[in-house]
Structure 1
């Protein structure tokens, strides 16, 4: 058994509950801006709203220009570059691509003072603590942004979470286990 972990850039450590609070606040703001009370957050419309109001910049790139990345976030520039197929799939509701966009939004919000850009497929060998990992933090943000863990009627089972919030069964299962272990489910 190897102790090697594949993590991304080391950033200031953030605890799960702190990230979840931020993501829940951003989720509520997005739902309010989109005039929606649906449990499923329209991440594409939320990002387009931020772009149209000049809070962030979104660029759509051809597959050939980013063949190994789904999207890239540049927090200091408040910019996300999204591969065309990832964007189109998110529009049609594909869970992985919806998660990717929420993940990149997490980088913009959580890592504005970090020195690097962030890619959805980036990983390196590292020994830093997972709470200091930029990708772990962005994943926590994305899961909590997409899944309203306070809405207990929709978090009773992983299948219900996946169907209600438009996330993959894998993400739904991970969040459901975290909610159960923390006494929130």
Structure 2
């Protein structure tokens, strides 16, 4: 059995469960003022303030650290079992400036910190035979896409070009295309 460089095998989650988690985080973000007029979510603000406040009552609070790029030579960011997210300085700065890929990376790591930290130390690497719904990377990517471009915004911006949507929401054109494809597939 060949190992595929995907993620770790984790507890199964359906796309619907992940969408619901993204909706819940968007509600928190909206209540904390981290969603703008076009529906763009401020993932950096959410990371800096919202998740901290969300986890204050939790003894295993989520934390993050901005590190020099050289400290993470093989990853843009990484989440550890203690719920610490390490983010390359260049990725963090680009996300703060609105770069879609970097914003996606932060959203992706937020999901790992919320859903996978209690499982990672017990996990094995996923393989070609691992169903997507049990793959930590598929789950985190699904969450990030839904957090940044949820179904209601896919509908709202149906008649806009991919480039316009990417600009309004601060996401990559690739994210727009993938989310639109997923939405219309269902």
TM-score, structure 2 as length reference = 0.83
Pairwise CA RMSD: 2.4
CA contact 2:35–2:42 (8 Å) conserved in 1? no
1:162 Cα deviation from its structure 2 partner: 1.8
Distance 2:178 2:41 in 1: 19
Match of 2:66 among 60, 63, 75: 60
CA contact 2:68–2:88 (8 Å) conserved in 1? yes
CA contact 1:86–1:97 (8 Å) conserved in 2? yes
Structure 1's 107 and 181: CA in aligned 2 closer, same or farther, altered over 3 A?
same
User: Which residue of the partner structure matches residue 12 of structure 1?
Assistant: 11
Deviations 1:5-62 (A, max 9, x none): 5421100111111101111111121121126453000110110004653442110100
Distance 2:157 2:144 in 1: 17
TM-score, structure 1 as length reference = 0.84
CA contact 2:83–2:113 (8 Å) conserved in 1? yes
Establish whether residue 145 from structure 1 lines up as the match of residue 147 from structure 2.
yes
Deviations 1:67-89 (A, max 9, x none): 22111112x42221111000000
- Considering Cα pairs closer than 8 Å and 6+ residues apart, tell me whether 1 or 2 has the greater RCO: 2
**1:1-185 correspondence runs (5 A):** 5-34=4-33, 36-38=35-37, 39-50=39-50, 52-53=52-53, 54=56, 55-74=61-80, 76-116=81-121, 125-151=127-153, 152-156=155-159, 157-182=161-186
SS in 1 for 2:79: strand
